Amino acid sequence: MPPRFFHAGDIHEGQTIKLASTVGHHATRVLRTKTGDSVILFNGKGGEFWGRIINDRKGLTTVIIDKFNAVERESLLTIELVQALCANEKMDLIIQKSVELGVTCIRPITTTRSVVRLTNERAMKRVRHWQRVIISACEQCGRNFIPTISPLISFIDWASQKKNCEPDHLNFMLSVTGSISPKNLPISQPPSRFTLIIGPEGGLTPEESAILQQAGFLSLRLGKRILRTETAALATIAALQMHWGDF
């Protein structure tokens, strides 16, 4: 398959598009594409556009769009990942791989045991960085819709906004004391929507867990081993996809 690139803007057949300088640099200097090579562009609105590079001069890469392909590669499940803030490289990994696994939206939060703390300005900068990580993951895995990422908020603020779920929506929190596994969930019909909250390196506090239990969250555990926060999120999403999704 030709390399894929995100283009922020409308795209249509027959259009000539000048790629953003960073995208053009990646295409021609990193991936070594050249004039005449096929590429795929997508804008996050669904489907993808196949085209050809018609100019690859330094600092200016131009693509002409030949056709539209209505293909989608979205999961059957709607998965909201509520991830406690952790070290930068771990957070990047969680976001990148959860997008590849099909997560729909990501909500970063700070919890009592979160080691990393960000001021408002730094938090906004990190969210912009995470947005770029999401786009890059979509370019790699073939998704044509961009998962959303919310501004960083506290656990208490997020929990106060959480509304009662509809019948086809399940809420999970991962816990080392959880007694439920994906194989023995007490459900009457296969769910299609999930909210999954993952704590920081030190886990959620008993008080935070109690708030979630009162809100109807099921305490989930994967196996007998204690998982790191970056392992927990990805393993749980994979398990959900295996049981009810498109794995």
Angle at 225 between CA 242 and CA 189, to 5 degrees: 30
| Residue appearing with tokens 């696994």 | 101
Is-contact 102 234, C-beta < 8 A? no
Can you read off the two tokens belonging to residue 86?
């952790």
Q: Measure CA 192 to chain center.
A: 17
pLDDT per residue of the chain (247 residues) written in tens, 0 to 9: 899 999 999 999 999 999 998 998 888 888 998 999 999 999 999 999 999 999 887 778 999 999 999 999 999 999 999 999 998 899 999 999 999 999 999 999 999 998 878 888 888 999 999 999 999 999 999 999 999 999 999 999 999 887 656 667 889 998 888 878 877 776 767 788 999 999 998 899 999 999 999 988 989 888 888 899 999 999 999 999 988 888 8
Question: What domains lie within the chain, and their CATH numbers?
Answer: 4-69 (2.40.240.20), 78-244 (3.40.1280.10)
Q: In what order do the strands lie in the sheet with 48-57?
A: 4-6, 38-42, 48-57, 60-69, 16-18
Nearest alpha-carbon partner for 25 in 54, 56, 63, 65: 56
Give Cα separations from 62 to 18, 47, 167 (angstroms): 4, 20, 49
Q: Measure CA 91 to chain center.
A: 11
